[in-house]
Amino acid sequence: MRHRIVLVGFGNVGREFARLLLENRSELTREFGLDASIVAILTARHGSVENPRGIDVRRALRLADAGVSLESCGRGISERSPEYIRRARADTVIEVTPLRIAPRQVALDHLIAALRSGKHVITANKGPVVYHYRQLRDLARLNHVGFRYEGTVMDGAPVFNLFQEALRGARLKSFEGILNSTTNLVLSEIEAGRTYADGVDAARRIGFAETDPSMDLDGWDATVKACLLCNVLMGGHVRPERVPRQGISSLAPEAVRDAVADGKRVKQLARGWREGRTVRASVSLEAIGPDHPLFSVNGTSSSLVVRTNMLKEFQIVERDPGLRQTAFAVYSDLIAIHEGRLSP
């Protein structure tokens, strides 16, 4: 039986996921018995189309890459996206629209519409999950559908899967990580003698720092990720607006060079910890020395160090990821849902 997908958002991540599906179609069928078919693509800038027999993905990619409307790929969809999602005949809704920092946002409406109408949800969009994790999780349980979001933190590197499947029985006490690739790349570029603007350009060229680079450079992206880890893995109630946050947009390049002269590196560290029964988060710029476990995490690499009651200190590092890595998160979430592993 076909697994019918509504893809909401067709930017860098959405398109890379579509490419991954195309390339791995036969493997997905052979190894996992998963016959995935995209039956609708909803976008803000290239129109929204559906084709119940499956959209010609190769054609959709060509059109989107050329910057033209998708309308020739199927029937146009004129209603608002949450309404369409509610009535769509589909198994899974994949949300990959850009991050917004606000409790109310259309991405949330997408997820709620999908879950209420009995569809699985996969999202790489942190916005709705950071504000409404509990509501979405409970809604998914109530409707016996999947809700997975591995792509929201560290791309395809397993973070939520790690805790909720591989580290069952361990309790997270605190974490510390480098979670924003754009920021880390710009810092590495300044260290190498280039300017802040050069660094931002480099991030843009490789497809990071996509829609709104200020989300990265002002520290919002790292802050939202820290809050997500606090809220999902530590049972916290942390809102990004209330977290102490340092982005690199106001950083003096000399601070980076002074650190290097000192044998250190300036890094943006996202932290979460417990204070009594409260979970707290922070995002700050700090000069760290070579003994720090995050010292050698450079360029677009990211890393998370966790301390649990069982493993003293456990670290994961994702080195030099590209768009493929984020798309893989969505892809592996899809396999998991197909196999009946509905939550991470």
Q: Is 180 or 325 the residue whose CB approaches its own copies more closely?
A: 325
Helix (H) or strand (E) holding 120, with range, is: strand 120-123
Q: Least CB distance from residue 293 to its own copies, whole Å?
A: 7
Among 161, 180, 181, 223, binds its own copies (CB under 8 A): 161
Cα distance between residue 173 and residue 81, in whole Å: 40
12 is in an annotated binding site: yes
126 is in an annotated binding site: yes
Q: Is 208 in the site for its own copies (CB under 8 A)?
A: no
Helix (H) or strand (E) holding 16, with range, is: helix 12-23
Among 69, 117, 332, 343, binds its own copies (CB under 8 A): 332
Q: Is 278 or 296 the residue whose CB approaches its own copies more closely?
A: 296
Could you tell me which residues are beta bridge partners of residue 278?
A: 275
What single-letter amino acid sits at 14? Answer: G
Residues 19-48: x where in contact with its own copies by CB under 8 A, - otherwise, as a string: -----x-------x----------------
Q: Is 170 in the site for its own copies (CB under 8 A)?
A: yes
Cα distance between residue 95 and residue 108, in whole Å: 10
Residues in the chain, how many? Answer: 344
Burial 272-307 (b: 16+ CB within 10 A, else e): bbbeeeebbbbbebebeeeebebeebbbbbbbbbbe
Burial 189-213 (b: 16+ CB within 10 A, else e): bbbeeeebeebbebbeebebbbeeb
Q: Is 173 a catalytic residue?
A: no
| Choices 44-52, 75-83, 130-138, 317-325; region in contact with its own copies by CB under 8 A | 317-325
14 is in an annotated binding site: yes
Residues 128-157: x where in contact with its own copies by CB under 8 A, - otherwise, as a string: ----------------------------xx
Number of amino acids touching its own copies (CB under 8 A): 40
Catalytic residue (one of 225, 264, 267, 312): 225
Cα distance between residue 178 and residue 215, in whole Å: 15
| Choices 42-50, 60-68, 123-131, 293-301; region in contact with its own copies by CB under 8 A | 293-301
What single-letter amino acid sits at 157? Answer: A
Helix (H) or strand (E) holding 326, with range, is: helix 323-338
Residue 129 has, within 13 A of its CA and on its CB side, a CA count of 31
Among 169, 205, 252, 340, binds its own copies (CB under 8 A): 169
Q: Least CB distance from residue 20 to its own copies, whole Å?
A: 8
330 is in an annotated binding site: no
In this structure, are residues 113 and 82 in contact, taking their beta carbons and an 8 Å threshold? yes
Q: Is 205 in the site for its own copies (CB under 8 A)?
A: no
Secondary structure in 3-state letters for 236-268: CCCCHHHCCECCCCCCCHHHHHHHHHCCCEEEE
Among 205, 276, 277, 290, binds its own copies (CB under 8 A): 290
Q: Mind telling me the catalytic residues?
A: 225
Binding-site residue positions for NADP(+): 9-14
Binding-site residue positions for NADPH: 126
> Which residues in this chain contact its own copies in the complex, by CB under 8 A?
24, 32, 156-158, 161-162, 165-170, 290-291, 293, 295-296, 310-322, 324-325, 328, 331-332, 335-336, 339, 341
